[in-house]
Chain A
Amino acid sequence: EIVMTQSPGTLSVSPGERATLSCRASQSVSSKLAWYQQKPGQAPRLLIYGASTRATGIPARFSGSGSGAEFTLTISSLQSEDFAVYYCQQYNNWPRTFGQGTKVEIK
């Protein structure tokens, strides 16, 4: 099973600032990497797939990069609605494993 490790666990950011979230796989997953956003009491929402392709309706301030085993999600200028938990997921192998999540909170 591929283990996905996200860092940091919690990120404190002021509105308008840039946030950088990391995700590392225990082995290469090529570009088969997705990012999801989850707000309290809601289902997760797809943000990024293929490591860098934004899903339909996702604002351009969200960007993904990386390949192989190292990935990054960047939120260029945090808006109030972006404070949430973010998960990465590899879909190169079954089981499709998730990272433990990074909580982005208001500083």
Chain B
Amino acid sequence: EVQLLESGGGLVQPGGSLRLSCAASGFTFSGSAMTWVRQAPGKGLESVSSISGGGETAYYADSVKGRFTNSRDNSKNTLYLQMNSLRAEDTAVYYCTKAAPYYLEYWGQGTLVTVSS
């Protein structure tokens, strides 16, 4: 059974940093592209960043480019999202998803990031 478990969310001040983690199990992690998707409260879905199975290639939404870094440790079956220079508009539930390889086949339950002073 595929499981994706996000952690690391919480309350952070504007300009602060946070690192999200996603522990994956039930599939060959190193062979799977992974994508972070976020959803602001009461809003729709936004693709934040995708990363290839080996971690060589990553794509970012313009809204986070230069501030967020998507990475993975295939030896630990874990995906990361380092978020710097956080803004109020980054407040959202962040979902870790397994891409297959482009549509989003499995989703974690999400972790809430709140950026507020």
Contacts and interface: CB of A to CB of B under 8 A. Distances in A.
Q: Classify the secondary structure of A's interface with B.
A: loop
Contacts of B95: 43-44
Interface string A77-107: 0000000000101010011111111000000
Interface residues of B, number: 20
B108 A97 contact: no
A17 B44 CA distance: 26
B104 A36 contact: yes
A13 interface: no
Contact of A91 (B44, B45, B103): B103
Given A36-B104, A46-B104, A91-B102, A101 B44 contact: yes
- Interface residue tally of chain A, by bracket? 20 to 34
Interface of B: 35, 44-47, 50, 59, 61-62, 95, 100, 102-110
B105 A97 contact: no
B107 A96 contact: no
A45 interface: yes
Given A32-B102, A94-B47, A100-B44, 11 more contacts: A34-B104, A42-B109, A43-B107, A43-B108, A43-B110, A46-B103, A46-B106, A89-B104, A95-B62, A96-B50, A98-B45
